[in-house]
Amino acid sequence: MMKKKGEIDLGLGLPRASAVNRSTAWPSSRRPRHHPRRETTDGHDKVPFPKDRKIPYGEISQFSKRSKQMPREGSEKVVYMGKVGVKLAVGCAVAACVVASVMVGRRVRRKRAWRRVVRVLEEFEEGCATPVGRLRQVVDAMAVEMHAGLVSEGGSKLKMLLTFVHNLPSGSEKGTYYALDLGGTNFRILRVQLGGQRSAIIGHDVDRQPIPLHLMTGTSEELFDFIASSLKEFVEREESVSEHSKSERRELGFTFSFPVKQTSSSSGILIKWTKGFVIEDMVGRDVSECLQQAISRNGLDMQVNALINDTVGTLALGHYHDEDTVVAVIIGTGTNACYLERADAIIKCQGLLTTPGDMVVNMEWGNFWSSHLPRTSYDIDLDADSPNPNDQGFEKMISGMYLGDIVRRVILRMSEELGVFGPVSSKLHVPFILRTPLMAAMHEDDTPDLREVARILRDTLEFPDIPLNVRKLVVKVCDVVTRRAARLAAAGIIGILKKIGRDGSGGIARGKNEAASRSKMRRTVVAVEGGLYTNYTLFREYLNEAMSQILGEEIAPSVIIKVMEDGSGIGAALLAASHSTSSVDTIQIPYM
């Protein structure tokens, strides 16, 4: 069944006994009756002899078989046999002593190694500890950093990017809209039909395609021509089976999940590429414009009227279904969050915005940092070895890209320094070889002998025969890593709720209105998307548990987490719809 902290009994015993060890530990009930053993004071077994018989030394080893035909005392044969026998017996005894001491030595060494490994695990667990008190400190730090990031550009590690999205879908959107979702190795094209009533998505079709590797490092024209021609094919295919009047304008929302400095809700400038893309001529250029030009070049009549990232899409879909949705979080390969903020709280652009009310802020929370985050030497090494050291510190503790690699690093240390895994496998040195879905499969292995753990250790890390105790150890390491990740994500979410006064504590200036705020705590929905959260049950459970612990019994029922499947794509289509009629804010960017 599910393994939670405390259910994994590692004990201090040895790894499962080898065949040699088992032979030394013969259970007393199965020993032959005619050789009853007694323990001597030095711990060795000894065979007792009948007190009433004199037996020549040479016969000792033969005693049990020959006891009925004892040779007469004094015969030559007996004397000769005696000498040979004594030598033989002494030889055997010495050999037995040597074997026994080697085995005892091995046992002792293994026991010591196992104790050391358990100590390393305990230290790791302590380093990753997230008691509720510490999580509350993370909550406070998140709220404070959010505030700092809203006060001035560069005021915090949280960029707190403006999105110029003031109006989230209300449910009244109607018609057919397209969306493009480019955020990693795949891109998706969607066509969404909206029925004009909340939650009335009549249908949506999706086409998913991998981005050819050479296009990730080519020119912007090549990349966008590929996307636009795929879009054109998709539109033609869709419209060949459904009606489309020539007078109907085609509108598109573009989810582009890379750091962008938005200039309006439909335009923005690429700050830098991430996730393996390196297309230098794009940096500093308007992303929508690049796409719009490629669409025209490919002879497609379509208007790009929303440029968003995946968190904003998820928030849009959440809000479309439930208007109490004010926060969205992505927990997949990477992690990020956005939320609905009062425009007057965005101090860094006061006076520049032309539309009052609320605005969605893209936090880029993967880069959050606080001294309250529980950081271990493994995290420090992972960061130092990464292509972006000192960047995305929160993401490196939470997201699917990294969790498996933290586990690999702990196993590597245990294997190299403590030897419990047997000879060190060279595979363990390969960064990111233990991907997070594999780690999750080991963590959630519910077979009594942890067969799946053994299989993954064998197939992925090339450890051929790992004893059960060591498999349990691996499960425990996965548990520690995932529990910390999920609990920190929960603290991050509640930090946002605190910033907007929806955690029941009275906001950042805690104390004065706490009681009043508890009594009028509003229902709040947090939309979540991402493979780590949706596919990893234990991660989800740990996150939900921590939310309840931090918020407390009274407030927790008011905060609801809702999974938004395909939020990043469908949300873009919804925003294309809601922006097709609304006016659009713009701002001049001083620095580019």
Binding partner of residue 531 among ligand ADP, Mg ion, none, CB cut-off 5 to 8 Å per kind? ligand ADP
Indicate whether 437 belongs to the interface with ligand ADP (CB under 6 A): yes
Q: How many residues bind ligand ADP (CB under 6 A)?
A: 14
**Residue 313 binds ligand ADP (CB under 6 A):** no
Stretch 533-562: interaction string toward ligand ADP, x if CB under 6 A? --xx--------------------------
For the CB of residue 285, give the shortest distance to ligand ADP in the complex, in Å.
24
Neighbours of 33 (CB within 10 A): 5
Q: How far is the CB of 190 from Mg ion (least distance, A)?
A: 13
Nearer Cβ to ligand ADP (56/332):
332
Write down the least CB distance from residue 255 to ligand ADP, Å. Answer: 10
The angle at the Cα of 237, spanning 235 to 243, to the nearest 5 degrees, equals 75
Residues in 26-85 at the binding interface with ligand ADP, rule: CB under 6 A? none
Which of Mg ion, ligand ADP, none does residue 374 bind (CB under 5 to 8 Å by kind)?
none
Binding span for ligand ADP by CB under 6 A among 409-417, 487-495, 524-532, 583-591: 524-532
Residues numbered 328-387 forming contacts with ligand ADP, rule: CB under 6 A: 332-334
22 is written with which tokens?
């088992």
Provide the minimum distance between the beta carbon of 313 and ligand ADP in the complex, in angstroms, as a whole number. Answer: 11
Catalytic residues: 275, 310
Choices 83-91, 178-186, 361-369, 370-378; region in contact with Mg ion by CB under 5 A: 178-186
Partnered with residue 306 across adjacent β-strands are 253
In sequence order, the 6+-apart residues with CB closer than 8 A to the CB of 389 are: 383
Q: Which is nearer to ligand ADP, 443 or 579 (CB)?
A: 443
Residue that is written with structure tokens 């990349």 in the block: 223
Q: Is 253 in the site for ligand ADP (CB under 6 A)?
A: no
Residue 533 CB, shortest distance to ligand ADP, in Å, is 8
Binding-site member from 58, 169, 183, 253 for ligand ADP (CB under 6 A): 183
Nearer Cβ to ligand ADP, position 235 or 485? 485
Interaction between residue 255 and ligand ADP (CB under 6 A): no
Between CA 138 and CA 495 the distance in angstroms is 7
- H or E element in which residue 255 lies: strand 251-256
**416: DSSP letter:** I
Q: Judged by CB, which is closer to Mg ion: 331, or 555?
A: 331
Task: Could you list the beta-strand ranges (E) of 140-222.
Answer: 161-162, 174-182, 186-195, 201-210
Site for ligand ADP contains 433 (CB under 6 A): no
Q: Cβ distance 362 to 336 under 8 Å?
A: yes
Give me 99's structure tokens.
């074997």
Alpha carbon distance 322, 330 (integer Å): 18
Q: Give me the phi and psi of 559, to 5 degrees please.
A: -105, 120
Give the span between the Cα atoms of 190 and 573, in whole angstroms.
Answer: 8
Task: Give the contacts of 568 (CB within 8 A, at least 6 positions apart).
Answer: 181, 183, 255, 257, 309, 310, 311, 313, 314, 330, 529
Whichever of 64 and 537 has its CB closer to ligand ADP, that residue is 537
Residue count, binding to Mg ion (CB under 5 A): 2
Q: Which listed residue (58, 184, 504, 507) binds ligand ADP by CB under 6 A?
A: 184
State in angstroms the smallest separation of the CB of 334 from Mg ion: 8
Contact 313, 477 (CB under 8 A): no
* Span of 128-136, 329-337, 398-406, 446-454 interacting with Mg ion by CB under 5 A: 329-337
406 vs 193, 330, 435, 480, 482, CA distance in Å?
A: 43, 20, 10, 10, 10
Residue 167: contacted member of Mg ion, ligand ADP, none (CB under 5 to 8 Å, by partner type): none
Q: Nearest 5 degrees, angle CA 572-CA 575-CA 579?
A: 140
**Minimum distance of Mg ion from residue 217's CB (angstroms):** 21
Spell out the residues 6+ positions from residue 436 whose beta carbon is closer than 8 angstroms to its own.
400, 401, 402, 403, 404, 532, 536
The entry of ligand ADP, Mg ion, none near residue 492 (CB within 5 to 8 angstroms by kind) is none
Residues 6+ apart with CB under 8 A from 532: 331, 332, 333, 399, 400, 403, 436, 539
Give the C-alpha separation, 108 to 96, whole Å.
18
When CB distances are held under 5 to 8 angstroms depending on the partner's kind, the choice from ligand ADP, Mg ion, none that residue 415 binds is none
Candidate ranges 75-83, 118-126, 326-334, 373-381; the one touching ligand ADP (CB under 6 A): 326-334
Interaction between residue 531 and ligand ADP (CB under 6 A): yes
Q: Of 118 and 561, which CB lies nearer to ligand ADP in the complex structure? A: 561
**What is the secondary structure of 356-381 as a DSSP string?**
-SEEEEE--GGG---TTS---HHHHH
User: Coil, strand or helix: which one is 457?
Assistant: helix
Q: Which of 269, 316, 361, 440 binds ligand ADP (CB under 6 A)?
A: 440
Considering only residues 391 to 420 of the shown chain, the ones binding ligand ADP according to CB under 6 A are 400
Which of ligand ADP, Mg ion, none is residue 262 near (CB under 5 to 8 Å by kind)?
none
Measured CA distances, 331 to 400, 403, 567 (Å): 7, 12, 12
Binding site for Mg ion (CB under 5 A): 183, 332
Binding site for ligand ADP (CB under 6 A): 183-184, 332-334, 400, 436-437, 440, 530-532, 535-536
